[in-house]
């Protein structure tokens, strides 16, 4: 009985050895076959590689997308942060530019006003003070403006007030820091003038409108629309030749003058000291001009 068992074990062991050797031989032969096949047909192997690559590519693409997306988000976040900073900087710069633009426009307007004053040549080097209009009466019964220059600056009552366009009026009242100018359109204003073309003398009388009138014209005097009106120099108030305005209307006994200086556009005024005795009252001015009421 024991001999049979021993013989059976011997046969099983022999069979296992044969199977192992055969399997090893098969693998070697398969490897050789694959090598020979790869060398024998390169196109077949390339197709196999391509097929494997095509099968793996979608998986690799899916796996690579999260990383690429994360990188893209990081880049976009950095760009967004930079854009926010740039936008803030541009807004601040735009605000500063708007402030400079407003200041430049204001300075340009003031420069034009001051250049206009240079167009008027007051004569043989008279003294003058340039003042800015800080208040306008704006009433129906008083036409005057308040300047930011007074007696401490050399402004005195009776001095002429002019712009680059012509006569504005005369200084009517003076304080230490301010001066009030009575405009040529005021009801109380009386200025000796002449018609420049004919040298006809008259008095420019304000009437609280934008069109003062010529009064005390000599009998038979003719005045045409468009004639230029200038100061005559009589009465000791103003020197001759200061531009006043032009004749706007000439009817029977009603001659109105359009002043060169528009009341609502007065910003800067030159107060000129001609060294005269100062403005006289209306009666004296008319008498000094050689007219009677």
Spatial separation of the C-alpha atoms in residues 108 and 131, rounded to whole Å: 17
pLDDT for res 282: 42
Angle (deg, nearest 10), helices 2-40 and 42-118 = 50
Domains present along the chain, CATH in parentheses: 127-288 (2.40.10.340)
CA of 227: how far to CAs of 5, 10, 197, 221, 223, in Å? 156, 151, 7, 13, 7
Residues 161 and 231 sit within 8 Å (Cβ to Cβ): no
Residue pLDDT, tens place only, 273-293: 877 655 544 444 333 333 332
The contacts of residue 231 (CB under 8 Å, 6+ apart) are 167, 191, 192, 193, 194, 238, 239, 240, 241, 242, 244
pLDDT for res 260: 92
Compute and round to an integer the Cα radius of gyration of the chain.
53
Residue pLDDT, tens place only, 107-143: 777 777 677 766 655 555 567 888 888 887 666 678 8
Residues 226 and 246 sit within 8 Å (Cβ to Cβ): yes
- Give the 3-state secondary structure of residue 167: strand
Q: Which residues of the chain have pLDDT under 50?
A: 280-293
Burial call 209-227: b when 16+ CB within 10 Å, e when fewer: eebbbbbbbeeeeebeeeb
Residues 188 and 282 sit within 8 Å (Cβ to Cβ): yes
pLDDT for res 254: 87
pLDDT for res 281: 46
E-strand spans in 189-274? 190-195, 200-205, 213-215, 228-231, 243-251, 254-259, 268-273
pTM above 0.75, yes or no: no
């Amino acid at each position: 009985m024991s001999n049979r068992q021993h013989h059976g074990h011997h046969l099983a062991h022999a069979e296992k050895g044969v199977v192992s050797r055969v399997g090893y031989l098969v693998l070697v032969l398969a490897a050789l076959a694959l090598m020979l096949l790869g060398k024998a047909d390169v196109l077949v192997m390339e197709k196999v590689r391509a097929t494997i690559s095509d099968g793996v590519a979608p998986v690799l693409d899916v796996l690579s997308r999260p990383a690429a997306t994360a990188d893209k988000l990081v880049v976009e976040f950095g760009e967004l942060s930079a854009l926010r900073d740039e936008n803030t900087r541009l807004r601040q710069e735009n605000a500063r530019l708007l402030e400079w633009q407003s200041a430049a426009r204001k300075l340009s307007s003031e420069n034009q006003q001051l250049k206009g004053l240079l167009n008027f040549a007051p004569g043989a080097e008279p003294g003058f003070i340039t003042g800015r209009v800080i208040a306008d009466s704006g009433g129906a019964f008083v036409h005057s403006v308040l300047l930011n220059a007074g007696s401490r600056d050399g402004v005195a009552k009776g001095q002429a007030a002019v712009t680059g366009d012509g006569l504005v009026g005369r200084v009517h009242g003076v304080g230490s820091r301010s001066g009030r100018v009575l405009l040529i359109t005021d009801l109380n204003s009386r200025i000796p003038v002449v018609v420049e073309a004919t040298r006809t003398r008259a008095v420019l009388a304000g009437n609280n409108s934008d069109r003062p009138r010529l009064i005390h014209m000599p009998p038979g005097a003719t005045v045409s629309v468009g004639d230029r009106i200038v100061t005559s120099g009589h009465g000791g108030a103003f020197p001759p030749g200061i531009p006043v305005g032009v004749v706007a209307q000439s009817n029977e006994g009603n001659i109105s003058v359009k002043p060169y200086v528009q009341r609502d556009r007065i910003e800067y005024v030159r107060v000129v000291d001609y060294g005269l005795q100062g403005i006289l009252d209306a009666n004296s001015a008319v008498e000094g001009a050689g007219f009677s009421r």
